[in-house]
């Protein structure tokens, strides 16, 4: 936290996803105190606190239009390592398609993910809203145990991770991973709508790696917001 004249002027959060995997987030400055160097001081404190943990990675995400955040990050030495297109839209009335089932066996699902262009384009990250932890076998197994991973076909021709965003309202469902051919993508997005509606959720959102698969999300009503399109993941180059 940062204080000026005894009042809260800004705050930031440091999160450890796993030993050595440090994530910086939540940097906010009171509009009344902008232009006073608060953001720069908070970002520097976050950065130094992260370095003190002797991590193997320090990362954060920001919108492409956040010029101040990108300027501070560049001064600190952060570099862009991944780019996502943020899309969202209202949940539709969709009948759950046949052929989609919960994943029970982690190994085939993990092999499918590792071989996918979605995993490659996401640089191995899981898009949980504005958080991008590494997508590992252990994290996949955790999502499988929660009933959040679904496959189309056997062996799978498509795979979906549909998870809650820890910072979004409960009315939002998040497509954290999607890969498959066109038929699989159509079925899995129809399933995502049906599943979200069944759970009383009103919106679907996704961080789509790159631009290649944005069209399929657009067909199912998930579109970029008017005031920004891309979310950048940046990392500090540790030795």
CB atoms < 10 A from the CB of 93, how many?
7
Partnered with residue 223 across adjacent β-strands are: 88
First-to-last CA distance in the chain? 29
Q: Are 190 and 183 in contact (CB under 8 A)?
A: no
The answer to whether domain 2-82+231-235 has CATH 3.30.420.10 is no
pLDDT level of residue 32 (50, 70, 90 thresholds): very low
Q: pLDDT tens digits, residue range 153-201?
A: 988 999 999 998 888 889 999 999 999 999 999 999 999 999 999 999 9
Residues 42-67: tens digit of each pLDDT: 777 788 888 999 999 999 999 999 88
The pLDDT value given to residue 127: 95
Same fold for the pair 2-82+231-235 and 86-219 = yes
Could you tell me the residue ranges of all domains in the chain?
2-82+231-235, 86-219
Whether the predicted pLDDT of 20 surpasses 50: yes
Peptide bond just before 40 cis, omega within 30 deg: no
Nearest to 15 by CA among 128, 119, 118: 128
**DSSP secondary structure letters along 139-198:** HHHHHHHTT-EEEETTTTSEEEEEE--TTS-TTEEEEEEEEE-HHHHHHHHHHHHHHHHH
| Homologous superfamily of the 86-219 domain (CATH) | Gcn5-related N-acetyltransferase (GNAT) (3.40.630.30)
169 token code pair: 């309202």
In this prediction the pTM is 0.91
φ, ψ of residue 148 to 5 degrees: the values are -110, 5
Contact criterion met (CB below 8 Å) for 90 and 202 = yes
H or E element, residue 114 = helix 106-114
Tell me the per-residue pLDDT of 76-89, one tens digit each, with 9 for 90 and over. Answer: 999 999 999 999 99
Q: Which residues contact 68 (CB under 8 A, 6 or more apart)?
A: 39
Task: Evaluate the CA torsion angle 205, 146, 161, 220 in order and state its sign.
Answer: negative
Mean pLDDT computed over every residue of the chain: 89
């Amino acid at each position: 936290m940062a204080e000026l004249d005894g009042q809260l002027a800004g705050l930031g959060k440091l999160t450890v996803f796993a030993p050595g995997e440090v994530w910086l987030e939540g940097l906010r400055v009171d509009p009344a105190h902008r232009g006073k160097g608060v953001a720069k001081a908070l970002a520097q404190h976050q950065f130094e606190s992260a370095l003190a943990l002797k991590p193997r990675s320090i990362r954060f995400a920001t919108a492409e239009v956040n010029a101040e955040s990108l300027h501070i990050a560049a001064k600190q030495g952060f570099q862009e390592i991944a780019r996502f297109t943020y899309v969202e839209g209202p949940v539709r009335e969709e009948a759950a398609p046949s052929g989609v089932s919960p994943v029970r066996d982690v190994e085939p699902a993990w092999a499918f993910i590792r071989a996918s262009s979605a995993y490659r384009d996401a640089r191995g990250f899981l898009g949980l809203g504005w958080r991008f932890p590494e997508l590992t076998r252990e994290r996949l197994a955790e999502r499988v145990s929660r009933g959040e991973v679904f496959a189309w076909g056997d062996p799978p021709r498509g795979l979906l991770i549909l998870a809650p965003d820890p910072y979004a309202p409960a009315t939002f469902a998040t497509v954290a991973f999607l890969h498959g051919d066109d038929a699989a993508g159509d079925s899995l997005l129809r399933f995502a709508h049906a599943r979200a509606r069944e759970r009383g959720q009103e919106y679907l959102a996704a961080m789509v790696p790159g631009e290649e698969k944005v069209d399929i999300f657009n067909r199912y009503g998930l579109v970029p917001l008017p005031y920004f399109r891309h979310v950048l993941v940046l990392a500090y180059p540790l030795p």
